[in-house]
Structure 1
């Protein structure tokens, strides 16, 4: 066992002991953060505008701090971008994490000196928790790759600015630098396909043990390696033993990824966002994620069915229920207040508080009142794939078809790129539809009431989604295609590309 693996084991045990301490007092820890955040930001522009000095309870906090999104905080962020200090949080941010917004264009998410540890230490602790549970640490002595955005940073109002994954690259611990892949020069390449080829050049003959990234881009990395070598990944990288991922639900990609690897390996799911690192999988025996309650974030939750109400009910961690879907609201030590992440989660445990990420609050189909969410379509697809085990799905998206050229009732259109088609695609579609009616009573009522007809499956050509992402300047990095849309913008563009 090498020195890195040897030293990691006592550190892993220490981190898990700390974890158990804050888990045991989760409610007190969250109340501590609410008080600390409000006290520290009381003299910022936001704190003065929202009378932070008069906040003495959670009820006061909800009265003073409205639920917001990026557009609501944009005026404050624009002041920071012009060089002002003490706007949302004391002093200036350490970084702006630059990310794409659906309505706001480019978003500049502040990361402060206080909040950077949330991003960096949480990723580290996910790995250490894995080591403590499995007693597997040898992978640390071999080569590790983090497929990420460019670490090149620019300045905005005197604040270093870049993609979150690129910012994080500057904080990789020194003891891992010497076995981190790819090289800094290669990581700085902006063109994803050129970068991918260079990454393969550098890693192909290395003892890769840990590979991390968003599943579709890792799959692309694996596909290119297999094209070059004609081998399964396990034969190219016999030391590969741990896959770390986040950003999308792994389930639709799992079968094809493991088929590409050629064996089952351990995996760790992370829940990072530019706004904060929220959770990670803390056990190989359980796919749910431990919500990180002691890293500088005060959480609130809004039941999904109430999110679009004029004054939606906001709940603290002690008020959530197992089995319900909630929109996630964060208040953090970078100055995001009442901030809606846009994500939905479902609690599967409250001792400790563990979640599954179920979708996006705005990524649903409700063109006819059905309100089908991401978790439901992914479960329906998994149900069909279990009944058609020959099937491999590369990527998919779903959109409503209101006025078909063929006439007839409207329906949901599933655009799917298969690596291996089901032997009976019509039955495959019927199986998806059947499971969806079981998962969503509104969808069932619309089908039974002849308002909707069963879904239609449209197979797309190879690389349809890659070509779509390339055409929209979103190939690689942290980008992903929405699973669900309430309009046909993505679907129509994919179909146009498919025909061409």
Structure 2
């Protein structure tokens, strides 16, 4: 056993012991954090504009701080980007995480000296939780690969600007830096396909034990390796034992990914965002991700059905219920206030507080009032694939077909790229539709009421999604295709 593997176990025990303390006092931890954040930012421009000095409890917090997305904070963010201090948070940010918004164009998400550590420690603690529960730490002595964006950054008024994964790359602990791949120069390459080939050049000779990245891009990495070597991943990397992922639901990709690997490996799900490291899988045995309630973020939750109302209900962690679909709201130690991240979550445990990501608040299909969400289409896909085990999936997205060119009733069109097609595509579509009607009563009513016809599948050509992402300049890194849309913009382009 190497020194990293040896030291990881007592360190993991210490970290988990510290975590248990706030887990037992989650509500108090969050409400105390709310007061601390407000106090620290009371002299900022935003704090003065919203009378932070008057906030003493959560009711006052809700009265003074409105809910908004990036557009609602943009006038403040623009002052920070222009180099002004003490706008949303004391002083200036250390970084801006640059992201692409659907309506806002480029977004600049501030990362402060107070928040950067939580971005780093979230990923670290996910691995340490795994080590503590399983006793497996040997992977830390071998090579680790992180498929991420470029670590290169630009400057805006003295503030570094880059992709979150690239920013985090600069803070990888020294004890992991020496066995991290790909190399810095390779990570800086812009062309994803050329970068992927270079990553394969660097990793093929190495003893890889951990691979991290968004599932569809990891699958692309595996496909390229298999094309070059003719071998399963387990035969290329015999010690590969841990897969770390985030950003998308793993289930639609699981079968094909493990088929490529040729054996089962443990997986660890994480939920990082530019706004903060939100949650990670703390157990291989329990459902859901542990919500990090002591990491510089005060969370609020709006029931999804209330989200678009003028005065939606806002709840703190002590007021949530199991199984309810909530829009996730963040108040951070980098200066985001009442910030709607756009994701929806459901609680699967309240002791400790564990969540599953159920979709995007604005990514749904409700052309006829059905309000089908991402969680439902993914569960339907998972069900159909279980009934048709020969199927392997590359990617899929769903869109409404309101005025079918062939005539007839409207329907939901599922655009699917299969690695292995169903033996009976019609039966596969039927099982998808049956499960969706069970999961969404409004969809079922529209089907039985002959307002919608049953869904239709459009099987796509190989590389359809890769070609689409390439056409959008979003191939690789942390980019992903929306699972569903309420219009046909993406569907028609694909």
Q: Give 2:490's aligned residue.
A: 490
**Structure 1: how far apart are the matches of 2:77 and 2:157?**
10
* Residue 270 of structure 2 corresponds to residue 270 of structure 1: yes
The alignment covers a number of residue pairs equal to: 494
For residues 9-88 of structure 1, what are the structure 2 equivalents within 5 Å? Answer: 9-88=9-88
Query: Once the two structures are superposed, what CA deviation does each residue of 1:110-141 show, in whole Å capped at 9, x if it has no partner?
Result: 00000001100111000001000000000000
Contact 1:80/1:157 (8 A) holds in 2:
no
For residues 411-430 of structure 1, what are the structure 2 equivalents within 5 Å? Answer: 411-430=411-430
The alpha-carbon deviation at position 287 of structure 1 amounts to 3.4
For residues 238-249 of structure 1, what are the structure 2 equivalents within 5 Å? Answer: 238-249=238-249
Q: Give 2:296's aligned residue.
A: 296
Q: Give 1:225's aligned residue.
A: 225
Q: Pairwise CA RMSD of aligned residues?
A: 0.5
Contact 2:287/2:348 (8 A) holds in 1:
no
**Structure 2: how far apart are the matches of 1:136 and 1:451?**
54
Contact 2:394/2:418 (8 A) holds in 1:
yes
Q: Give 1:326's aligned residue.
A: 326
**Structure 2: how far apart are the matches of 1:374 and 1:35?**
34
Structure 2: unaligned runs, 5 residues or longer: none
The alpha-carbon deviation at position 286 of structure 1 amounts to 1.9
* Partner secondary structure for residue 194 of structure 2: helix
Query: Once the two structures are superposed, what CA deviation does each residue of 1:317-347 show, in whole Å capped at 9, x if it has no partner?
Result: 0000001110000001000000001000000
Please say which of residues 462-471 and 282-291 is displaced more in the overlay: 282-291
Contact 1:466/1:475 (8 A) holds in 2:
yes
**Structure 2: how far apart are the matches of 1:175 and 1:381?**
41
Query: Once the two structures are superposed, what CA deviation does each residue of 1:187-240 show, in whole Å capped at 9, x if it has no partner?
Result: 000110010000000000100000000000000000000000000000000010
User: TM-score, structure 2 length as denominator?
Assistant: 1.00
**Structure 2: how far apart are the matches of 1:472 and 1:453?**
32
* Residue 461 of structure 2 corresponds to residue 456 of structure 1: no
* Runs of 4+ deviating beyond 6 Å: none
Structure 1: unaligned runs, 5 residues or longer: 495-500
**Structure 2: how far apart are the matches of 1:80 and 1:293?**
27
**Structure 2: how far apart are the matches of 1:264 and 1:285?**
15
The alpha-carbon deviation at position 157 of structure 1 amounts to 2.2
Query: Once the two structures are superposed, what CA deviation does each residue of 1:275-324 show, in whole Å capped at 9, x if it has no partner?
Result: 11100000011231000000100000000000000010000000000011
User: TM-score, structure 1 length as denominator?
Assistant: 0.98
The alpha-carbon deviation at position 81 of structure 1 amounts to 1.0
Contact 1:400/1:486 (8 A) holds in 2:
yes
**Structure 2: how far apart are the matches of 1:213 and 1:287?**
21
* Residue 207 of structure 2 corresponds to residue 207 of structure 1: yes
Q: Give 1:465's aligned residue.
A: 465
* Residue 399 of structure 2 corresponds to residue 399 of structure 1: yes
For residues 270-419 of structure 1, what are the structure 2 equivalents within 5 Å? Answer: 270-419=270-419
* Partner secondary structure for residue 62 of structure 1: helix
